[in-house]
Structure 1
Amino acid sequence: MSSDALLATYDEQVRGIWPTPLPGVTHERDGSLLRIVSRLRGVVIAPRDVGVRGAELDRLIARQRDRFAERGQDVEWKTWGHDEPADLVDRLRDAGFVPEAQETVLIGLAEELAGEPVLPDGVVLREVTAHDDLRAIAAMESAIWDEDLSWIGEHLIEQVTHTPDEITILAADAGGVTVSAAWLAYRAGTEFAGMWGGSTLREWRGRGIYRALVTQRARRAVARGVRYLHVDASDDSAPILHRLGFQAVTTTTPYVWTPPRP
């Protein structure tokens, strides 16, 4: 399938069918937008074309900002490189939204990516659901990125508790220590599953663990009847995924508004 055809299918399914809300999470509609409200950072998801222009678009953006200003929360408006109108990101900036790191959206065929994972000696892959394992993943992520990411563990716990059929979480362990982890999020009503995580402790990088996690997730996806895998790839992981057969279709950049701090 061509990049344009893959992108059109991605827009229709991944961006067009909303995820299942977890307890304590509210989905609000504002025109063409989905606004996700929870105790974490707010999120705004839009279709490829938000459907409004000019001053009406400015008012739409301001309503999202003001909704989370009332809550004293950050809000992320996720954009893609092919979004319309073309001045959307300029208007987000004018409203006080700041861009974070750009990533590349890659899509691969699950059946072609599935295989037998190859791991270095002493490393084993496990599917995990126990709360202690999920908190260990969050602790590993916190160590890698040098910030408190304990919320990741609590978010994963909520997912395996309330929507267990929509996620598969894998941990790579060595000597009883989690050295890498990744998860696969299924979207009901679509042919897609999203690959997330994929972080590895620095001393364990370059040994094929990331590749093994991709392969194992592809195997699980095929078993679930998933056709496509999609991932928002950093500059570090994109070359690996390209070599495995993923195809770049667009870019994605989160624009974040942060309320003034006392």
Structure 2
Amino acid sequence: MAEAPEMLLSVFESQLRGLVPQDLPWGAVVERDGPLVRTHYGTHGTVDHTGPASDDLAELIRRQQDLFAARHEPIEWKVYAHDSPLLGESLRAAGFIPGPERTVLVADIADVPSLELLRPGMQVRHPLSGERERLSRRAAAAPDQRRPLSEMEADGMARGTGSEMEILVLEYDGRILDALWIERVGGTDFAAIGGITGPRRELLQAAAAWAEWRGLRVFRPRTPRYLVAEAPDSLVPAYVTTGFHEIAQVSTYRWAPAGEPATDRATKQLLSDPEHDEIWKRFETRFEVTYETADRGIIEPPDSATWLLATVERSNDPLLTQVEEVIKRGIRAGARSGDRLYCLKWHISGSRMDPLRAGEPGQPLWASYAYLVDEHVIQVTKDLRMGTFGNWREASLCVFGEELLAHVDEELTALLGTVLRRGGRPIGNVWSFGP
């Protein structure tokens, strides 16, 4: 039996509004402030709220503006039609500008019809890597909905066992007609449709099937039960005829402080990004190493030192934690404005990070590391002037680059003992794979 819109609204209010994410998006800082949840992305920020209006809304709003202004982040604040009128009035008085209203829609996945047999030549599928740029442009041109595809992708394709995203495309005769993007909202009974480029019931049905299938395969014991979306008037009929109910109206209020926000988040997950492969190719060429030869190490440059980590056998070894902290401090001390630090493993996803905007209080989590107990790993600046190579086969850590080495040499030697090699040449009486 289909649930009433009032019940769906109640579930939506209790589970999604004022939610602190189960898995933090890449490059984001999430903070609770009374009835508010504030998210800083660097490029912009969002405010979500729950509960009754504050007795002093003007002061609460002014505090948010001050905090976002300190980071040069524009604010997006969703206001629902059933919220207290004082909220919208106070935001407008503070300089916020409301955007067009959208309809909030929720469906019980069990009420969404199964994907019908499509006509010959038509299929729903995942996009190919070569189609992503064109899809991104099409998604950016779609009307304002729940979450842009660019933001969902920046969160990371797989942020944890409770959160995941997917893109679905409807193809006919080899041509993409429309696309939909969806994410699992960790810690809730919802999967959320970020947006859809056209009114395609086939894609909405496929989204429900994806949420149910992924739930049974990955998200047990909390399989998604509901789908939520926001849509302009032109897309609402497609949702309603697919089993969704209109439960509310919402508008995004926006305000921008003085100053330029960052153009990218402080950290980013790298999957099939061209820069991932480009950095690897330059690293392999400069340090004369490939996946097949990595066990034998790299050609260590003159400004390098290598230490033995033979006693480190577990990823949670306290000694490794100390080593990583020393490396992090050294990278931050040697970093220049505009630097990007890449943490990469062969044939596995990596990350990109601005080392001056991560790892400290009020900043996103540090997204890089120097050593793994079961994989070779590198972390390097884009210009390759400094970085590390963790060779798990040799159980060694090579640190290179004059700027980095100057900040970590003494501390790492105190932690790990005799240096194994300097400039690629063995020293002391420690056995080495080196020349």
Range of TM-score over shorter length: 0.7 to 0.9
Deviation at 1:27, TM superposition (A): 0.3
Tell me the equivalent position of 1:98: 97
- What is the aligned counterpart of 1:173 among 171, 174, 184? 171
Q: Which has the larger radius of gyration?
A: 2
Tell me the equivalent position of 1:34: 37
1:212 to 2:202 alignment: yes
Deviation at 1:227, TM superposition (A): 1.4
Tell me the equivalent position of 1:183: 181
Deviation at 1:13, TM superposition (A): 0.7
* Code of the aligned partner of 1:34: V
Q: CA-to-partner distance for each residue in 1:187-241, whole Å, 9 max, x for gaps? A: 22221111122104xxxx7xxxx11100001112222232111111110111221
- What is the aligned counterpart of 1:156 among 153, 161, 174? 153
Bigger shift: 252-261 or 95-104? 252-261
Tell me the equivalent position of 2:195: 197
Tell me the equivalent position of 1:253: 251
Contact kept? 2:35, 2:50, Cα under 8 Å? yes
Relative CO higher for 1 or 2, CA cutoff 8 Å, sep ≥ 6? 1
Flag structure 2 segments of 5+ consecutive residues without an equivalent: 216-222, 261-435
User: 2:12 & 2:247 partners in 1: Cα distance?
Assistant: 9
Tell me the equivalent position of 2:226: 228
Flag structure 1 segments of 5+ consecutive residues without an equivalent: 146-150
Q: CA-to-partner distance for each residue in 1:158-213, whole Å, 9 max, x for gaps? A: 4215448522221223565543211221122221111122104xxxx7xxxx1110
Deviation at 1:252, TM superposition (A): 0.8
Contact kept? 2:46, 2:75, Cα under 8 Å? yes
Using structure 2 for the length normalisation, give the TM-score: 0.51
Q: CA-to-partner distance for each residue in 1:127-171, whole Å, 9 max, x for gaps? A: 24x6544333212224557xxxxx844741542154485222212
User: 2:93 & 2:151 partners in 1: Cα distance?
Assistant: 34
Tell me the equivalent position of 2:46: 43
Shift in alpha-carbon separation, 1:183–1:123, aligned structure 2, 3 A: same
Tell me the equivalent position of 1:237: 235
Shift in alpha-carbon separation, 1:49–1:174, aligned structure 2, 3 A: same
Contact kept? 1:111, 1:222, Cα under 8 Å? no
Bigger shift: 218-227 or 93-102? 218-227
User: 2:130 & 2:51 partners in 1: Cα distance?
Assistant: 39
Using structure 1 for the length normalisation, give the TM-score: 0.82
Deviation at 1:242, TM superposition (A): 1.6
Q: Helix, strand or coil for the counterpart of 1:39?
A: coil
Contact kept? 1:137, 1:178, Cα under 8 Å? no
Shift in alpha-carbon separation, 1:109–1:162, aligned structure 2, 3 A: closer
Contact kept? 2:45, 2:74, Cα under 8 Å? yes
**More helix by percentage:** 1
Contact kept? 1:69, 1:259, Cα under 8 Å? yes
